[in-house]
Chains A and B, each alone.
Chain A
Amino acid sequence: MRRIALIVCILSVGLLLGGCWNREELNELGIVSAKAVDLNDSGEWEASFQITVPRSTAATSQTSGSQSPVTVFSAKGRTMLEAVERAGTESPRRLFFPHIQVIVISERVAREKGLKAVLELYLRDHERRETVNVLIAHGRARDVLDVLIPFESNPAYAIDGIIRRTRMQFRDVPTRLQDLIMMMANPYRNAVAQEVLVSGDRDKQSNLDALQSTRSAGVIKLGRMGVFKADKLVGWMNERETVGWAWATNHIKEMMLPFPCDGKELTSGSASSFQVETASTKQKAVYEGKEIGIQLNIRAEGSVSEMACQTDFREAEGLRSLERSIAEAIQSDVESAVRKARDLGADVFGFGDVIHRTDRQAWSVLKANWPSRIRELSIHTNVEVSIRRIGLTNDPFTKVLGNQEDKDG
């Protein structure tokens, strides 16, 4: 009995001595929802943190509406963590990073310093997650954190929502930190990252009053796609090129694809829409004579959901010609992406890996100064489109109107 009492004593003392050392109550945490990295003119890091104000964010809270749902702290430092620490001293609560949704890095940082400092921090620290979104800001990164967005009280969640939706319904843009690291760690591939921009009036939208008007003075958008060499930003791909990139790398989920009627120019009056429902791309390395090249086999299925052409769907030939027009539209997008990649001398498609996988010997010669060799690489695109549905009507409405005009005449 006495022995048992002794054991219990020792155990409970051990428990008490060891106990509670890293306990932290929720109301002692400053939950960081977004982070921005800027570079100021004297070459110091400027880290900004968007911290959730739980009281005004939670659904049932009575005080919400009178207080901004987030607050932003900024601090400068010679290293990233020095800046983090200084920002931490401004905040009455410990900055808590695991729930960070977005890291916004300014274009200037990406171009001049590269992302290595940011990535290093994230790979080393156990409190940070690799699933966080990394975006490149057009302009000052901090500005993105200031914008309030309707629906989501917390702007960072809104940005995350925008990204999710893009990923589900348009193209699987690589925004996660882990995607970026995977791409950057591959010496023969160039990384890409999504751009984020504030369009409109940032200052007005950073005020809580902004949420009380029906029209937002400023909105947050995902824009172009940045192309990296190693960890430094070297150029941008515009929207068309980004779509082409997504087609070439099997990142298309669903999308609305505008296409012109056989061979005409794509103008807003005469374009039809093809709703891509499933899409897949296979990258293959093929030989043309002695030269190894890349072949892209793209398959897309979907439905025609807007018609401006006078095609007769009752005939198989009509459908086929539409499919050809769509395929041409896809092909021209891919070509524009390839053109941009060649301009930059950057392999953003991972073609190097394809060749490596197919023919190791050829690769050992090619890899010498790989990314720039993409300029000479022959790239072929085969697009196969099948239209599954044409919607509820056969004839385009323009045709119906056309008949009427005939009657009048």
Chain B
Amino acid sequence: MGVDVLVSQLAENLKAIEDSTGKSSDVVIRSILGVRTSFALVYIEGLVDTDIFNNNILQPLTSAANQVNDQFLEGFETFFRHHVNVASMAVTDRFEAVLSEMFNGNVIVLADGWANAAVVGAPKWKQRNVNEPTSQTVVRGPKEGFVEDIGTNVALIRKRIKSPNLWRIDRTIGTITGTKVCVMYINGIAKDSVVRELLTRLDRIQVDSILESGYIEEFIQDASYTPFPTILNVERPDAAAAALLEGQVVVLVDGTPFQLVLPVSFFKFFLSSEDYYQRFDIATFVRGIRFVAFVIAMVLPSLYISVTTYHPELLPTTMLVTLAAQREGVPLPAVLEALLMEITFEVLREAGIRMPRTIGPAISIVGALVLGQAAVEAGLVSAAMVIVVGFTAINGFVMPAYNIAVAARLIRFFLMIMAGCLGLYGVTAALLFLLIHMCGLRSFGVPYLMPISPRIPQNLKDVIVRAPWWRMHTRPKLIASPSNEVRQRKHLRPGARRK
């Protein structure tokens, strides 16, 4: 690219733009010939709001171009400021900035004899409406989900937190995609050190493209070689707002409805925003179910393998006989049987995502009837194994966070192999290994197993139990800034005597 700064010849500037965009047909150049000089409006088709362009930019400029007035004599900038009826307008002389603003949906106004360009903001592109989130649904609670547009997403959060302390820092990451990434936090509640660390990590990213927040997540997470995610993603503005209020930082990435929340502990992945909308007792119960389901999703097949192949003496006699009866004539050892069934299920699940909607029901028929029932009837797999695999799979869907469910899936296979080789001893060893590994994980300085290890009694009110709202006086320690931990007054229990 030959040009760094704009020159005063309009033709040359336009030629430079045409050259660098390869004369792409969606780069529209609209020239206006005036009395004293000529102007050019450059924009990308489809990224610009045509109403604003016609009524507020093109029309006033065309009419003003023919008259030489006071503002024109004062200089181009003043002239444009008077005649372009759009809120956002900036002036730059940098060629690169011109291009990037153009791709952001702005209209570039050039004039012959002016070595600058006016950047007029009129972006508008087709965007999805704010819909119900697809992966993090609730029964009770707001039905709004994030969309792909970062501006809308920020607005969705702002709408919930009407405070000047909700601060936002922008970064553009990706040398080619130039993706907007925006860090939001509540000043005074979030830890400054976390924000600073996050910005350092963001600034370190040198990559050509960011297409989803997953890219950012992998660049900034604390540990890569682990099945456990150390950054949470949310699809719900209310969840993001709640995270901000607890002192967490939200990273919004343009082009995806999944925004990052950090720092998080392991237990955050089991909390759904609905926990806070339902009554505390039922929320606590449901949370218990989720933890149990996670454990089942991880260990059930391996327990089944180890108990049936290494420790049949552990089973109650009648159960042993029933299981033994089902295994009669099954050709494969239990480990292989389990691995095979699990892999079959993973295939079905993957196929289910890829399957066109119209033949979706067919896959469940094939999966459930042909592969399940027929395999049992043919004596290839035991019915008990189908039950184990099926129940495990259902348990895998209980977790509100998809990425922790994926972790359970991976670990399940590891545990199954351990169970096949070493029985319960292997499973125990593997679980201990995982526990040690988890103790070593951090998420932006917060220990992963906080508040169980290190034990922080104050934080336990919102981990396995969800205390009633009037009992949660404080924000979580270690996550929120220590100077602003108190959330609300004590003794707010309805009916309690004032103290």
Chain A contact residues, CB within 8 Å of chain B: 15-16, 18-20, 22-27, 29, 31, 33, 52, 54-55, 57-59, 61, 96, 98-99, 101, 127, 154, 157
Contacts and interface: CB of A to CB of B under 8 A. Distances in A.
A55 B309 CA distance: 18
A96 B329 CA distance: 18
B324 A29 contact: yes
Nearest to B334: A25
Nearest to A59: B322
B329 to A, nearest CB: 7
Given A31-B320, A31-B321, A99-B317, A20 B420 contact: yes
A59 B328 CA distance: 14
B308 interface: yes
Contacts of B289: none
B310 A23 contact: yes
A99 B313 contact: yes
Given A98-B312, A99-B313, A25 B321 contact: no
24 contacts: A15-B418, A15-B421, A23-B423, A24-B309, A24-B310, A25-B333, A26-B320, A26-B323, A27-B324, A27-B327, A27-B328, A31-B320, A33-B317, A54-B321, A54-B324, A54-B327, A58-B321, A61-B325, A96-B313, A98-B312, A98-B313, A99-B312, A154-B321, A157-B317
Given A57-B321, A59-B322, A98-B313, A26 B421 contact: no
A147 B104 CA distance: 88
B330 interface: yes
Contact of B309 (A25, A52, A154): A25
Contact of A58 (B308, B325, B330): B325
A157 to B, nearest CB: 7
B326 interface: yes
A16 B333 CA distance: 16
A54 B325 contact: yes
A18 B422 CA distance: 8
A56 B360 CA distance: 40
Nearest to A19: B421
B9 to A, nearest CB: 56
A26 B334 CA distance: 9
Nearest to A15: B421
B327 A25 contact: yes
Nearest to B421: A19
Nearest to A97: B313
A375 to B, nearest CB: 44
Contacts of B421: 15-16, 18-20
Residue in B323, B324, B420, B421 whose Cβ sees the most chain A Cβ within 10 Å: B324
Given A15-B421, A18-B422, A61-B325, 11 more contacts: A25-B333, A26-B320, A31-B312, A31-B317, A31-B324, A55-B325, A57-B325, A96-B312, A99-B312, A127-B313, A157-B318
Contact of A22 (B308, B310, B329, B417): B310
Contacts of A31: 312, 317, 320-321, 324
A99 B320 CA distance: 9
Interface in B288-317: 308-310, 312-313, 317
B324 A19 contact: no
Interface in B128-158: none
A138 B417 CA distance: 51
Contacts of A22: 310
Interface in B322-378: 322-330, 333-335
Contacts of A52: 321, 324
Nearest to A57: B321
B488 to A, nearest CB: 48
Contacts of A26: 308-309, 312, 320, 323-324, 327, 334
A54 B328 CA distance: 8
Contacts of B327: 25-27, 54
Nearest to B423: A23
A18 B429 CA distance: 14
